[in-house]
Amino acid sequence: MAIWKKALFPFQILFAGAVVLRKKLYATGVISRYVAPIPTIVVGNLATGGTGKTPMVDFLLRHFSQKKELGVLSRGYGRKSKGFLAVRSTAPSSDVGDEPLMLAQKHPNVFVAVCESRPKGIVKMLAQKPSLEAIFLDDAFQHLALQPTFKIVLTTYTRPWFSDALIPVGNLREPATAAQQADVVIVTKCPTSLDEETKNAYKTKLGIAPHQKLFFTTLEYGTHVRGAAEIPIYEFIKTPFVLLTGIANPSPLVEFLKRQGADFTHLYYPDHHDFSKKEIASIKSMQQPILTTEKDAVRLATYTLAQCHTIAIGVGFLDKEGAFLELVQSAIEN
């Protein structure tokens, strides 16, 4: 282990102590927890980001939003506003956050909102739309002020929590044992060729409890890119282009495009990056078609980028998708 990481151990101990104390205050009832009058389903993780929470929420909305009146509540990471806001599809991403805006645009029949306080957000959502039947919460596993109906926790195949450590040494926001509070554990971004032996090894290392269900998913990419027109991906990549990403981990997308034989220049920015006018001018000066993600596209919408195209990034279950959907449906109808 690197010497600088060893130097961070005292801070890790302090962080762990604060996390344990906070959880104990809620568990013993010293601080009360809000229970919503309708089902609330949390999609969260233990790590600081990049596990695929928003694609999972998108996946769930695609399966359930045509049958139920659903809402989505998020903190709206990276937004410059405060408090509760209902997310309109035409809102600036700086006001509501890129991920909530993306979900609102993709699912116009879903009530998407942002609020730092999940209990306050739920109360306001129900006041504005009493007909809501369930609410999905994007990244609220550590929001102890809410007692959700159902908890889904995600971890990536390449950096599962058993290979990680608490902040600041690693990326975990709480000890790995906290995952046992979840109803479902999903290992995301898996290779499609994952064998049963590896799945069983992950089940053991993740410490899956008897009451929990474990699933494995992979990333799926759209067969077409969308811009002024919809173009098959195999046609689009015949011309050199710029790949523009501001997401937590673009590596899977980069590898996917390389496997397709694409010739591109990758401009990599941090997650939720707020593009400057200078950066946009530099991108325009490259005078090449641009490919970006749906999440990045909502932050780029205020700029006029010629030949800008998006590729959809979705979730695919390696197996047992039906069993997972049945669990969520049961939670929604609880």
Predicted pLDDT at 168 = 82
Structural domains of the chain, with CATH: 31-219+324-332 (3.40.50.300), 222-316 (3.40.190)
Closest CA to 96 of 111, 116, 81, 118: 81
pLDDT single digits (tens) 290-316: 999 999 999 999 898 989 999 999 999
Task: Render pLDDT for 187-201 as a digit per residue (tens, 0 to 9).
Answer: 999 999 999 999 999
pLDDT, tens digit (0-9, with 9 covering 90-100), for 154-182: 999 999 999 998 888 889 988 899 999 99
Contacts 24+ apart (CB under 8 A), 203-209: 205/160, 205/162, 206/155, 206/160, 206/161, 206/162, 206/179, 207/162, 207/176, 207/177, 207/179, 207/180, 209/180
Q: Residue range 267-284: average pLDDT?
A: 94
d(CA 231, CA 224): 5
**pLDDT tens digits, residue range 4-58?**
555 665 666 665 566 555 666 666 776 678 999 999 999 999 998 789 999 999 9
pLDDT at 9: 58
pTM of the model: 0.90
- 176: tokens are 């790995």
Here the tokens at position 174 are 């709480």
What value, to the nearest 5°, has the Cα angle with vertex 172 and ends 167 and 174?
95
- The CA distance from 12 to 17, in Å, is 9
